Structure 1
């Protein structure tokens, strides 16, 4: 296999990863609170050929001396874009939208590794009975994951709920017909370094599985907004945040990647034809 085939094959596999990223963005254009991903490429190793032994003959040259032959490109990083999505008014008391781009709700998720804390921007919440008891309800996400308070405890309301109001700093005030008024502080974190976060299914984010190998502290990545830090919280009740996916931009990116994919495929075809031509020479 010649150098052209190697370079094109390496790039094709990485373009497929970018195509998957764009497809995921397009599929989640209507997902509440979804954050788009951006794929960035870097060059693989480059081989330098110093084909001109006499440097004096290169005087006036505007490009670096020699010839650099690459081996393709790879997907260097997939970044999470935390730009704020537009707000959609629903007038539903359990719909909550975060109005600062770095804020996330804390939820508890049960998976194969046990119970873990995850983070989401999806504020479409519901009340569900605890163990079938109508006199005790829990605040959950649309997927049934418990929404946590500022101390990472599930928000459980005792009594028959008659009214729910949520303040701008994330305090929940619940009126019940037989237990009076109850207050809860929603668990909200501020993510300062989203590039460390791992996107999971179900519109959830989490610290990466290899977090202990990254030599960073949790506090450097995200901060739990408790105590005086709750003044940094900004939420709106009766609204939901739309995804920050720009469908027109994603379609343009999709067309560009498809053209790049076709170009690399054509390069492999041309290399194969050239090898056939060389092998047919007698």
Structure 2
């Protein structure tokens, strides 16, 4: 009974983590560029209980004597980077990635982070320039990992399909041209989610995880101005997974209750 209760307890802990992830997915159903996390379960290493000696092994038996008992389930998770739906906004500072695996570079806490959210804004800088930032006020980086600055009179902004931003002033004169810092992910699971709908490298020293799309490689970039990529969360699937997880949690909780009742019966025997 103790082993079955431990197994159920281990599994309940993992199912609770799955419910937390599902709730996180649902909460971000309207977050631009958000990517859902998929969950699966794997079996933990089994324990072997020998209940007979090998000397008494039956002739013709194809398996060893003993009981192989599991000790619970292990939750495995991975971010799904499939393309989200495109929502038209007709706002010049909005753009959407139309190819999966491409990310915009953002400076957060002095480190380079990555995002799929293309909602950009202009922020006044102390030097009289206009800085390009995201909704959280974090600086957008160019292809050389430098913060993007535009002339203070920049008004009309165009973002081309290859991620080149061009600004004009009120008289139609150039007010700044810059290439947005965009990378291509080569190993999707080497990116991990952080706060603010940003991603960071699982191993910062892995130089092959992402490729900077610069020079001729900028032809691989595909963005659409005046639109935003929405999350790839399927609410109906998340709700179905939540119901299944709740039933699994209830089943394992019931196993612990039954095991406790049986131990109580054993202890009451005189």
TM-score by length of 1: 0.88
Moved more, 32-41 or 233-242: 32-41
The residue that corresponds to 1:126 in the other structure is 121
The residue that corresponds to 2:221 in the other structure is 233
Contact kept? 1:159, 1:177, Cα under 8 Å:
no
1:137 to 2:127 alignment:
no
Long gaps (5+) in structure 2: none
The residue that corresponds to 1:22 in the other structure is 22
1:168 to 2:167 alignment:
no
Long gaps (5+) in structure 1: none
Aligned partner of residue 208 in structure 2, secondary structure: helix
The residue that corresponds to 1:91 in the other structure is 90
Contact kept? 2:141, 2:180, Cα under 8 Å:
yes
- Summarize deviations over 1:22-72 as a string: whole Å, max 9, x none: 11000000101000011232221202346675454547xxx9975420111
Distance 1:131 1:65 in 2: 77
The residue that corresponds to 1:156 in the other structure is 149
Aligned residue among 240, 245, 265 for 2:233: 245
CA shift, 1:79, in A, is 0.6
TM-score by length of 2: 0.92
Cα RMSD between the aligned structures? 2.0
Contact kept? 2:192, 2:201, Cα under 8 Å:
yes
CA shift, 1:177, in A, is 3.6
Distance 2:65 2:28 in 1: 47
The residue that corresponds to 1:102 in the other structure is 101
Distance 1:165 1:44 in 2: 54
CA shift, 1:142, in A, is 0.6
- Summarize deviations over 1:62-107 as a string: whole Å, max 9, x none: x9975420111122x3211000000000110000100111000001
CA shift, 1:162, in A, is 2.5
